[in-house]
Amino acid sequence: MQRPLRLMLVAAAAAVLLGWFGSLRAEEKSVLKFCRFRSGDLVSYGVVEGDLIRRIQGTPFGHWQTTNELYELSEVKLLVPTTPSKVLATAGNYKSHLGQTKPHPYPELFFKAPSCLIAHGENVVIPPGTEDVHFEAEVVIVIGRRAKNVPVEKALDYVLGITCGNDISARDWQQNDVQWWRAKASDTFGPVGPFIVSGIDYYNLQLTMRVNGKVMQQENTKNMVHNLAQIVSFASRYITLEPGDLIFTGTPGETKPIKPGDVLEVELEGVGVLRNGVVKASK
């Protein structure tokens, strides 16, 4: 084989390989929108394709593959996106929420009970004994694989994606109780969903809170005091984070009381709208 032809063939092969690896990188960075849903007796994860859900075999937290089963979004019940072993939340993570208070030098975390989680479309129930329950629009981190002592520069490798969250908070209990267990983790105080989205720029998204259609909070995620990677890394020093665990990342601006009859909407750019009604406990 003549040398120029050999060189041409090698160059062509290299170009093919580079194109193949490039396509892999593009695929790895592509945007994916997952949901967890119920249709009849079936509970499964799926990939959202417009107004349809394509069911997957497996879960987003391990090996999975798409199937040919398609479901109308409007015909299924969207569920809490994961079944977490733990739910963490970050306090004071936007300067606009802190006011004159100095930002914490590290992420200030607390627990919410997994039992407080509700899905898109379900009602926040105001329990008896509190007169000052507030909304808090938040970005929620979804952990994708077990994380322990993760450095900041690798922390996002352990994140499956993000979803919308509403850290419902009883301010009177929060101020007067020794712990925040009922102020932040009463039943229905953790709306999350509707989707988990990966492959977008988590650090430049618009977060909006609406009550009955009126904008009450609006801020870009670039204004977080501690970003997602810093929060995950810090939490993983002390607690082993498991696939499906959730971390609320703090709320911006000012929050206000909610009341029965209100409709709460948390919209996160590139993710979707989490919508929940508000009702009063029957007894």
Tens of pLDDT, residue by residue over 183-238, are: 999 999 999 999 999 999 999 999 999 999 999 999 999 999 999 999 999 999 99
Query: Which of 78, 95, 116 is a domain's end point?
Result: 78
Q: Which domain holds residue 138?
A: 87-280
Q: Are residues 21 and 96 in the same domain?
A: no
Q: Are residues 32 and 105 in the same domain?
A: no
Do residues 93 and 107 make contact, with C-beta atoms less than 8 angstroms apart? yes
Q: Are residues 168 and 119 in the same domain?
A: yes
Residue 224 belongs to a domain with what CATH number? 3.90.850.10
Q: Are residues 27 and 74 in the same domain?
A: yes
Q: Are residues 157 and 42 in the same domain?
A: no
Number of domains forming the structure of the chain: 2
Query: Which of 43, 78, 113 is a domain's end point?
Result: 78
Ramachandran angles phi, psi of 48, nearest 5°: -80, 125
Q: Are residues 29 and 120 in the same domain?
A: no
Tell me how far CA of residue 198 lies from CA of 21, 74, 214, in angstroms: 20, 22, 28
| Residue-wise pLDDT tens digits, 13-58 | 433 333 433 333 334 459 999 999 999 999 999 999 999 999 999 9
Q: Are residues 180 and 61 in the same domain?
A: no
